[in-house]
Amino acid sequence: MKPSVIVFPASNCDRDAAVALEQASGKKPAMVWHGEASLPDTDFIVLPGGFSYGDYLRCGAMAGKSPIMSAVIEKAKAGTPVIGICNGFQILCETGLLPGALLRNAKLNFVCRTVTLKVENNQSMFTSGFEKNAYVDFPVAHHDGNYFADDETLNRLDGDGRVALRYVDNPNGSARNIAGILNDAGNVFGLMPHPERVISPLLGGIDGTRFFKGIIDAAA
């Protein structure tokens, strides 16, 4: 695997994502500045968490217009795996690579704690490290993580098995407890929780290690 991590102004989880990927794959990912017009030779792309452009306008809206995103969108449409974590999920929705939107949390507060998730679909490369219906613990840290889509879209996501992760105790009001979804082709995945923050017992858990190791194994 040749991973790349996109770095936006005010990204704050890009290095965490890079460490998690290197731990899982043994390879240092390319760190790609958002202002670049093209990607290096890559076969896996991460849009990390943070507060790109200070979350002005809407979270992820300005980052979605960054020069590098044209290349990311092209790669995604050609089948390259792309994962968006937290702010990265917001960016994927803003660019139309994933349906729906991430709204302000239902109680209008910033949520920062570990949450339990249920693995609804483990047939994706992104969740293949877990058993179906397994429970995993990832941290969340967001103010705009309330996933919203119209009923038709929600029914389609459910019917097609594209809801990969659901909250057990919904921290933000997300429709149908959705924490992470796949695109129709299954190569684009967005989730609000942060697996890259639990890759060592010293960091509070290793469910993130299983997450990234599963991705590497599935891509082998």
pLDDT for 61-106, tens place per residue?
999 999 999 999 999 999 999 999 999 999 999 999 999 999 999 9
Tell me which of 86, 93, 94, 142 is the catalytic residue.
86
Say what the pTM is: 0.95
Q: Is the pLDDT of residue 220 over 80?
A: no
CA separation for the pair 144, 81 (Å, rounded): 24
Q: Which residue among 13, 120, 142, 196 is the active-site one?
A: 196
Active site residue 196: yes
86 is catalytic: yes
Instruction: Provide the residue range defining the domain that includes 149.
Output: 3-219
Summarised one tens digit per residue, pLDDT across range 178-202 is 999 999 999 999 999 999 999 999 9
Q: What pLDDT, on a 0 to 100 scale, did the predictor assign at position 32?
A: 98
What CATH number has the domain bearing residue 64?
A: 3.40.50.880
Domain count, the chain: 1
Question: Active site residue: 34, 93, 94, 194, which one?
Answer: 194
